[in-house]
Amino acid sequence: MKNVISRPAYKLNGSIIIPSDKSLSHRAIMFASLANGKSIIKNCSNANDPMSTLRLFKMLGVNIEYVDAQTLSVSSGGVLSKPHHFLDCGNSGTTMRLMCGILAGQPFNSVLIGDDSLMSRPMKRVIEPLTMMGANLSAVDNRAPIHIFSSKLHGISYESKIASAQAKSCVLLAGLNADGETIYTEPSLSRNHTELMLKYMNADIECNGNKTFIRCSVLEPKVLNVVGDISSAAFFIVAASIVPGSDIILQNVGLNPTRTGIIDVIQKMGGDIEILDRKTVSGELAGDIRVRYSQLKACSIEGDMIPRLIDELPVIAVLATQAEGRTVIKNAEDLRNKETDRIHAIVTELRKLGANIADTSDGFIVNGKSLLKGAVEVESYNDHRLAMSLYVAGLICQKDIVIKNFEWVNISFPEFESLMQKLL
């Protein structure tokens, strides 16, 4: 148990390199393991969640070795072997949901488990479409442990009611190993890393708006270079936007348009944010971002925007406390199904600091601008993004705050505190 103090900041200044994207690192390890041959993954995240994925593929017989601290060599014959133990996904929803799609059509049985948080998260979103594809999965109350029994899969046309990249990726990965074509439609476009990376590895996949078509394919091994995580960059983007006098540069940030909602929100609020250098890395857009402090005004965030910033909403709540007026967040009910109920958690903790914030069934309403007082202890709810959002809130408090169980930041961003200290 590690309690961390976040102190009122003078200003943020300087330039940092944003560490590897978690979503892309999971997918790079998974898809390289499914490909027939040797792939190299450069700048792979070593945070706890992607490490859960890596551990699972080792248990499934894939040869994964470190070439250096952040480069992996993945050698696979394109087939997985039966694991001898339960497959433990730790805290990682991405691992569990995508693995369901990978394992459902394998010629062996397997069992997926996770930590207390993951075992309480809803899995119907993957169990339902996989069952329609001929999979045989058993999970009490649609929660892990998930027992997966070997089956032959066939393609389906599935219309999802939710915009979830994890659910979509699960079905597409099952479709990669199914007879016939699989068509997946979602109500708004969620992050499309699976589609882009599968295409990059020569899968038979096509995208048309919110619809994706995939057919059975063998993946080609590749060199996959993972860009920095915009969801990690978001904590610094918000911090620099609200701490007076700040001026920072964030290097090598992934700029896939399905992830850049945070940039649009800062712009909508009248913030000062600029993309300095654009490039394409292994099929994904990336660039450097400059952020400066500015006076912000409230805005509304809803609809198609939500999947483009779903993981940033806790830190956007902090941002909204410093924007003049009423910020309303709607259509974000899935936030209640994350590592913790993030609507309840962020509203409860920001209120302890003196913010004017109230929850609604599908989001929250913030009235700004508030002076946050500090001198309190806040809870991380064992949730990495809650812990880091509260750290950012601490930077604009009048007095220090203590964040409990801060070690959970290691789930996605072990370098968070040291990089923040570099800018302070």
Catalytic residues: 311
Residue from 48, 53, 151, 164 binding ligand S3P (CB under 6 A): 164
Q: What is the size of the binding site for ligand S3P (CB under 6 A)?
A: 11
Stretch that binds ligand S3P, among 57-65, 159-167, 351-359, 366-374 (CB under 6 A): 159-167
How far apart are CB 334 and ligand S3P at their closest, in Å? 6
Q: Is 278 within any annotated ligand binding site? A: no
How far apart are CB 94 and ligand S3P at their closest, in Å? 4
Q: Which token pair is 332? A: 């974000």
Stretch that binds ligand S3P, among 10-18, 70-78, 163-171, 208-216 (CB under 6 A): 163-171
Q: Is 22 within any annotated ligand binding site? A: yes
- H/E element holding 174? helix 165-175
Quick check: 366 and 360 in contact, CB under 8 A?
no
Q: Is 166 within any annotated ligand binding site? A: yes
| Residue 43 near ligand S3P by CB under 6 A | no
| Residue 94 near ligand S3P by CB under 6 A | yes
In 238-380, beta strands by DSSP E? 247-254, 272-281, 284-292, 296-297, 300-301, 323-329, 356-360, 363-368, 377-378
Q: Is 121 within any annotated ligand binding site? A: yes
Q: Is 246 within any annotated ligand binding site? A: no
Residue from 166, 241, 260, 282 binding ligand S3P (CB under 6 A): 166
Q: How far apart are CA 264 and CA 325, in angstroms?
A: 18
| Helix/strand/coil for 17 | strand
User: Based on CB atoms, which residue is closest to ligand S3P, 190 or 252?
Assistant: 190
Q: How far apart are CA 308 and CA 315, in angstroms?
A: 14
Q: How far apart are CA 137 and CA 100, in angstroms?
A: 9
Stretch that binds ligand S3P, among 35-43, 80-88, 164-172, 209-217 (CB under 6 A): 164-172
In our burial notation (b when 16+ CB lie closer than 10 A, e otherwise), range 195-227 reads bbbbbbbebebeeeebebbbbbbebebbebbbb
Q: Which token pair is 317? A: 């709540």
User: Based on CB atoms, which residue is closest to ligand S3P, 159 or 277?
Assistant: 159
Q: Is 93 within any annotated ligand binding site? A: yes
Restricted to residues 179-198, the positions that interact with ligand S3P (CB under 6 A) are 190-191
Q: Own/partner pairs for 200-204, CB < 8 Å, 24+ apart?
A: 200/224, 200/282, 200/283, 201/31, 201/35, 203/176
| Helix/strand/coil for 38 | strand
Restricted to residues 314-373, the positions that interact with ligand S3P (CB under 6 A) are 334
Stretch that binds ligand S3P, among 31-39, 149-157, 165-173, 297-305 (CB under 6 A): 165-173
Q: Is 311 within any annotated ligand binding site? A: yes
User: Based on CB atoms, which residue is closest to ligand S3P, 62 or 126?
Assistant: 126
Q: Is 160 within any annotated ligand binding site? A: no
Restricted to residues 191-230, the positions that interact with ligand S3P (CB under 6 A) are 191
| Helix/strand/coil for 37 | strand
| Residue 53 near ligand S3P by CB under 6 A | no
| Helix/strand/coil for 98 | helix
Q: In terms of Cα–Cα distance, which of 372, 405, 371 is closest to 388?
A: 405
Location of structure tokens 């005004």: 297
Q: Is 385 within any annotated ligand binding site? A: yes
| Residue 383 near ligand S3P by CB under 6 A | no
| Residue 23 near ligand S3P by CB under 6 A | yes
Q: Which token pair is 372? A: 């946050």
Residue from 56, 165, 248, 315 binding ligand S3P (CB under 6 A): 165
Calculate helix-pair angle for 165-175, 22-34, nearest 10 degrees: 10
In our burial notation (b when 16+ CB lie closer than 10 A, e otherwise), range 115-132 reads bebbbebebebbbebbee
Binding mask 278-317 for ligand S3P (x = CB under 6 A): --------------------------------xx------
Q: How far apart are CA 80 and CA 53, in angstroms?
A: 14
How far apart are CB 119 and ligand S3P at their closest, in Å? 16
Q: Please give the annotated binding residues for 3-phosphoshikimate, written as ranges.
A: 22-23, 27, 164, 166, 311, 338
Annotated binding site for phosphoenolpyruvate: 22, 93, 121, 166, 342, 385
Site residues, ligand S3P (CB under 6 A): 23, 94, 164-166, 169, 190-191, 310-311, 334
Binding residues: 22-23, 27, 93, 121, 164, 166, 311, 338, 342, 385
